[in-house]
Amino acid sequence: MQIKITDPRLTDWGLPDFQSEGAAAIDLVACIEETLLIEAQAPSVLVNSGIAISFEDLSIAGLVLPRSGLGHKKGLVLGNTVGLIDPDYAGEIMISVWNRSAIGTAPIKIDPGERIGQMVFVPIIRPTFEVVEEFSNETARGTGGFGSTGS
Q: Give percent above pLDDT 70 in the chain.
A: 99
What is the full DSSP assignment across 90-150? -SEEEEEEEE-SPTTSPPEEE-TT-EEEEEEEEE---------SS-SS--SSTT--TTTT-
Q: Evaluate whether 3 touches 56 at the Cβ level (below 8 Å).
A: no
Give Cα separations from 36 to 4, 75, 116, 129 (angstroms). 24, 15, 12, 46
Residue 26 parent element (H or E): strand 25-29
Q: Cα separations (Å) of 140 from 132, 134, 144, 145, 150?
A: 20, 15, 9, 12, 14
Mean of pLDDT values over 129-144: 90
User: What's the whole-model pTM score?
Assistant: 0.88
Report DSSP letters for 36-94, one per residue.
EEE-TTPPPEEEEEEEEEE---TTEEEEEEE-HHIIIII-EEETTSSEEE-TT--SEEE
> How large is the average pLDDT for residues 84-97?
97
pLDDT tens digits, one per residue of 43-87:
999 999 999 999 999 999 999 999 988 888 899 999 999 999 999
Measured in degrees and rounded to the nearest 5, phi and psi for residue 74 equal -110, -20
